[in-house]
Amino acid sequence: MPVTQIAAQSLPVPIPVPSSHEHLSHLRLLEAESIHILREVASEFERPVMLYSVGKDSSVMLRLAQKAFYPAPIPFPLLHVDTGFKFAEMLSFRDEMARSVGAELLVWRNESAIAAGTNPIALDTRRCCGLLKTQALLDALRHYKFDAAFGGARRDEEKSRAKERIYSFRDSAGQWDPKNQRPELWNLYNARVHPGESIRVFPLSNWTEMDVWQYIHEEKIPVVDLYFAKERPMYVRGEALLPIEQAFVAHRDEMPQMVRSRLRSLGCSPCTGAIRSDADSIPAIISELLSFRNSERANRAIDHDQEGSMEIKKREGYF
């Protein structure tokens, strides 16, 4: 076969082609890939489930699931791992979304850890996450015998996530071995697991934070009000804004102040800082995003308690 060497200066400049069908935007291409993944998993696994965290990524994933199986309903349930520290607005939004798309919603809480008063100040964030999120998730997957769980994680979020497969294999303890991942070529996914083993699936792997917001805008997907700026009571500590949702986060004699602010990513209220913002619409959020100098997880305490902490959590079974 011949090799054509093109001098770089004479490279053709693509010109628009007459047919209106020719151009597919990056969002259409990402959507088509995600739908393919959702259908593969639903067809190849016995008991799939979609982890629904109520955040923007989950909202996009839920819409993609509606699209993948239309006109049939979504053929798997949604699972929300409730740590007891989720914002009240998240819980009401969650119930409303599940009702409106007609999906079955399962909620799982690590009741014994919650009853024992587990919180990120009494423990450190890593152990708190370990009990309320990771342990609860593993218990729920085991209880319902789910063999595949969709998550909304994206590769652009964090360094160890950049190396995650779309089908992320987990052993019978739910753990991830980053050095022993299956090669994943083309769009051919190896769905074979032994009994007790499972996979986590990330249909949004190739989306960026900006893609997610643009898709929410284009598709008019509802998101929780906490993403939009308004006057909210916050504990103000230097640059950091801490929601007052849980009383125990307050220092002695600390008084909340009203701050025009919003949340950039949704987690548990004690560990999710807000940002000062005037962005009260999706276009305003997108425009704000273009000006950001920090990544979206910069305000998540759990990612920063030690070098490589996301990888450690993932090895233990975190999403």
Partner 1 sequence: MATLSSPSFSVIDYLAEERGKDLFRFSTAGSVDDGKSTLIGRLLYDTQSVYEDQVRAIEGKGTTVPGQIDFALLTDGLRAEREQGITIDVAYRFFSTARRKFIIADTPGHEQYTRNMATGASTADAAVVLIDASKGVLEQSLRHAYIASLLGVRHIVVAINKMDLIGYAEQQFRSIEHDFSLLLNRIAQDTGNPVDCVFVPVSALAGDNIVHRSSAMNWYAGQSLLEVLESLPPSRNSRLDPFRFPVQRVIRPSHTFRGFAGQIASGTVTVGDFITVLPSGKTAQVTRIVTFDGDLESARSPLSVTLVLDREIDISRGDLIVAAGSQATVARNLDAALVWMDLRPLQRNRRYLLKHTSQTVPAVITAVNHRTHVGTLQHEAATTLELNGIGEIALHLMRPIAVDLYRHNRNTGAFILVDPETNSTVAAGMIHAIHDSTAQGKPLHGSSGPLTAEERSARWGHRGGVLDLKAPEDLVDLIERDLLLHGFIAVRINADDPSPSSDHSLLDAVVQRVVDAGLIALIAHQPDSDEITAHSGSYTTALAADSPAQAIAAVHELLRRAEIAVNTQKAGLQ
Residue of 92, 112, 257, 287 interacting with partner 1 (CB under 8 A) = 287
Residue of 182, 196, 231, 276 interacting with partner 1 (CB under 8 A) = 182
Positions 248 through 277 that interact with partner 1 (CB under 8 A): none
- How far apart CA 302 and CA 305 sit, in angstroms, is 6
Q: CB-wise, 82 or 296, nearer to partner 1?
A: 296
Q: Would you count residue 31 as binding partner 1 (CB under 8 A)?
A: yes
Which residues 6+ apart lie within 8 Å of 9 measured at CB? none
Residue of 33, 139, 245, 280 interacting with partner 1 (CB under 8 A) = 33
Positions 197 through 216 that interact with partner 1 (CB under 8 A): 205-206, 208, 210-211, 214
Which residues 6+ apart lie within 8 Å of 250 measured at CB? 235, 244, 256
Determine the interface stretch with partner 1 among 3-11, 87-95, 139-147, 222-230 (rule: CB under 8 A). 3-11
Q: CB-wise, 1 or 247, nearer to partner 1?
A: 1
Positions 11 through 30 that interact with partner 1 (CB under 8 A): 11-15, 17-30
CA atoms within 13 A on the CB side of 54: 25
Q: CB-wise, 217 or 260, nearer to partner 1?
A: 217
- How far apart CA 166 and CA 19 sit, in angstroms, is 34
For 232-259, b/e burial (b = at least 16 CB within 10 A) is: bebbeeeeebbbbbbeebeeeeeeeeeb
Q: CB-wise, 91 or 191, nearer to partner 1?
A: 191
* C-alpha 97, offset from chain centre: 16
Q: For 128, phi and psi rounded to 5 degrees?
A: -65, -50
Binding mask 38-57 for partner 1 (x = CB under 8 A): -xx-xx--------------
- How far apart CA 89 and CA 75 sit, in angstroms, is 27
Q: CB-wise, 82 or 157, nearer to partner 1?
A: 157
**Nearest distance from C-beta of residue 156 to partner 1, angstroms:** 5
